[in-house]
Structure 1
Amino acid sequence: MAVGLVAAAASILSSRLDLGAETLKLSLQVSDAMIAASLFLAAFFIRQIVDDRRQIAESEQRFRRAMEDSAIGVAIVGLDGRIVQTNPAFAAMLDYSREEIEAKTFFQITHPDDLQIGRDTMVSLKEGKIDSFHFEKRYLRKDGTPVWAQLAGSVIRDEESGRPLYLVSQIEDIDARKKSEARIAEAETRWNFALASAGQGVWDFNLRKGGTTYSATWVKMLGYADGELDGDPDRWLAMIHPDDRAIVDEADRAHLAGETPFFEAEYRMRHKYGHWIWILDRGKALE
């Protein structure tokens, strides 16, 4: 009897040991699978982080390269006006070294008469009214002389909060263009003054675009106010006396064909009040 009980107990214990071993084996297999999955996920995320960092580094490197090699000025400016970073083109435009210019604020290198447009733009960017800007202003070179520039840029914001951090500006030197425009305007003013003083009017017909412009003296000779005549060339032709149109047409044809050095014709034009006045018209076609 006792021997039978011992045998039964041994059998039960053996079966439980076998069951425990199977459970342990299964647990170990599950643990191995979980560890493998964890390692796989860890490797995936590490690879993703490495790829993201590499892409960010490559993007930053491309930006730095583009900024350094740009033929026009580039500046990164803080919201307090502090110049954070510039490129060689901008420093050279104002005759500063990069170290010198990056120790200044944009207020210090801006012409006093143009400070307000920069301040207004800064306020609008801070308040979120605009995200980009485009305007012209004058900077001051190291020696104090002004230089005209055209600015275009945008604001860099914090990705999470949207808070503005910096301004990135592209700055093009347009000083030569501005000086040329000023010289042309001055010459035109002197020319118009001379013509007005001599009582001579001027009209200009654009052969490519088809529009006609008149000087104030020219329209006044015909009794009109400045701006009262439109640029329709047919209007000009309609004011020529019918008996004189053939003379004008022939003078125009001969000059455009290169047969005469300039256009010249005497003809009558209708005054605003209906009577006819004689005109001596001289001109030259320009390319």
Structure 2
Amino acid sequence: MIPRLRLVLALLLPIAAGSLQWLLWENWIKPYVWFLFFPVAFFSAWLGGLAGGIGSTLISALMVWYVFIPPPFSFTLPNPTAVFSIIVFIGMGCLFSWFHEKLRRALSSSEGRFEATFEQAAVGIALVALDGRFLRVNHRLSTIVGYAPEELMARTFHDITHPDDLDADLAYVRRVLAGEIDTFTMEKRYFRKDGSIVWVNLTVSLARKASGAPDYFIAVIENISDRKLAERRFRQLFEQAPVALATSDRDGNLLLINDAFIDLFGYHIEEIPTIADWRTRVLPDAGQHTAAEQDWSSKWPAEQPAELVEQSVLCRDGSRKTVLLSRLRLADEMMLAATDISQRKAAETRLRERNAELERFDRASIDRELQMIVLKRQVNEMARELGREPPYDLSFADTLPP
């Protein structure tokens, strides 16, 4: 109601009460002069606030003084008790007015804070009827779904919810109405006005009447489309990565493994659901097992850069492979990456073997050459003793020992 109209009505209440009391005075109310005016002072304060309450109180006091306190139609007060009753009435009227003014200001301030919170919240907020109709929505929710507030309030949440998410949403709603849970949170999809899909995180609670009966739902909606897009991209990269990848939580439960991991080790996540199972299956050597456990535990106290560790692992088919393992903490998860370097290690081994063979061959060849030089020197000496010219030119070997 308009404040000025409330003030006018508050000031008219004493006149209406005075008229009614005058009609009932002789047969019903006399001599209770304040019978109708105490309620008038209270309701005038509630209706018109401080100004309306005090104005109504003063009008009521003058009317009772002039009309109903003997002698009637006179401002004479021969009885001190009448003076006291007027003072008490005015005091009570002013007290009513002060109390209601304080209450009105507190309520106005509370409503103002609620309005500011509701409209300026960084998340979407909606009040939803029990049948799913939007009763009130804020600007952020309108932005998320692309509908103007009045357009949205002409719809129900069923109308904009993706069909694949509706059954789960309604199941939660039924549980809340049945008193099984107080609130619920779920990720779901809404259809925007332009037909596109937006992912949201929905949190719903139930407001009840004073009697305890369900009244309406309070829904908080957060746009998580960017996060879902990032998760989808991560999932695609994770699943299609050529490197074997696995993630685990703090308790050591494996959360995800990709196809490359399965191809490398031969195990599915159902067969190795925990890090402990992983160590038992693929790191059967006691020393490897202990070192891997200590390394995994040491990563949790603080963020550490990824380190590459070369390990010999046992695969599901019984074969041994050499892999490079890297463990990296990501928030509350640990990521394990493994790269098969068995072929490279085998190639390195073959290369070392070939180099060793070449070295042995080179040493044997040099020994033969040295032996030939010694024999040629002996032949040259024998030729000189016979007075002949030495048949072999060994000037290139003059620096070699005899």
Q: What range describes the TM-score normalised by the shorter chain of this pair? A: 0.5 to 0.7
Which residue identity does 1:75 align to in structure 2?
A
Question: What are the equivalent positions in structure 2 for 1:184-263 lying under 5 Å apart?
Answer: 184-191=234-241, 215-217=261-263, 220=266, 226-227=271-272, 230-231=275-276, 239-240=284-285, 263=308
C-alpha change, 1:107 and 1:204, in structure 2 (3 Å) is closer
Matched, 1:69 2:120: yes
Match of 2:230 among 153, 170, 180: 180
How many residues end up aligned between the 2 structures? 237
TM-fit CA distance, 1:31: 3.1
Structure 1, residues 156-175: CA drift from partner, whole Å, max 9, x if none?
A: 2223x222222121100111
Alignment equivalent of 1:97, drawn from 148, 156, 163: 148
Change (3 A) 1:27 1:129: farther
Question: 1:169 pairs with 219, 237, 240, which one?
Answer: 219
| Aligned position for 2:90 | 39
Match of 1:280 in 2: 322
Check whether the contact 2:160–2:191 (CA below 8 A) recurs between aligned residues. yes
Task: State the identity as a percent.
Answer: 27
* Long gaps (5+) in structure 1: 1-25, 196-200, 247-257
Question: Could you say which residue in structure 2 is the equivalent of 1:18?
Answer: none
Q: TM-score, normalised by structure 1?
A: 0.65
Give the drift of 1:212.
8.8
Q: Over aligned residue pairs, what C-alpha RMSD do you find?
A: 4.2
Residues in 1 aligned to 2:118 and 2:235: alpha-carbon distance in whole angstroms: 36
Question: Counting helix residues as a fraction of each chain, which structure ranks higher?
Answer: 2
The SS at the match of 1:231 is helix
- Give the 3-state SS of the residue equivalent to 1:156 in structure 2: strand
Q: Distance in 1 between matches of 2:312 and 2:170?
A: 58
Matching residue of 1:255: none
The runs of 5 or more residues in structure 2 that have no matched partner are 1-76, 292-304, 330-402
Corresponding residue for residue 206 of structure 2: 155
**Is this contact kept in 2: 1:132–1:154, CA < 8 A?**
yes
Structure 1 pair 47–120 and aligned structure 2 pair: CA distance change class (3 A): farther
Larger radius of gyration: 2
Q: 1:76 to 1:230 in 2, by over 3 A?
A: same
- Give the aligned residue type for 2:285: I
Deviation at 1:154, TM superposition (A): 2.1
Post-superposition CA distance 1:96-148 (Å, at most 9, x none):
22222222111111111112233233333334443323222111111222211
In the TM superposition, residue 50 of structure 1 has moved relative to its aligned partner by: 2.3
On the 8 A contact 2:204/2:220 being kept in 1, the answer is: yes
Q: Per the alignment, do residues 268 and 91 of structure 1 end up closer, same or farther by CA in structure 2, a change over 3 Å counting? A: closer
Of structures 1 and 2, the one scoring higher in RCO (CA 8 A, sep 6+) is: 1
Is the CA contact 2:125–2:220 (under 8 Å) kept in the aligned structure 1? yes
Contact 2:272 2:278 survives alignment (8 Å): no
- Contact in 1 for aligned 2:282/2:315 (Cα 8 Å): no
Amino acid at match of 2:218: V
Secondary structure of the equivalent of 2:157? Answer: coil
- The CA distance in 2 between the partners of 1:240 and 1:123, in whole Å, is 54
With over 3 angstroms needed to count, the CA separation of the structure-2 counterparts of 1:127 and 1:285, relative to structure 1, is closer
Pick aligned residue for 2:130 from 79, 93, 97: 79
**Does the Cα contact within 8 Å between 2:252 and 2:276 map onto a contact in 1?**
yes
Q: Is the 8 A contact 2:314 2:320 kept in 1?
A: no
Structure 2 counterpart of 1:93, which letter? I
Provide the secondary structure at the position in 1 that maps to 2:101: helix
Q: Secondary structure at the match of 2:159?
A: coil
Corresponding residue number in structure 2 for 1:131: 182
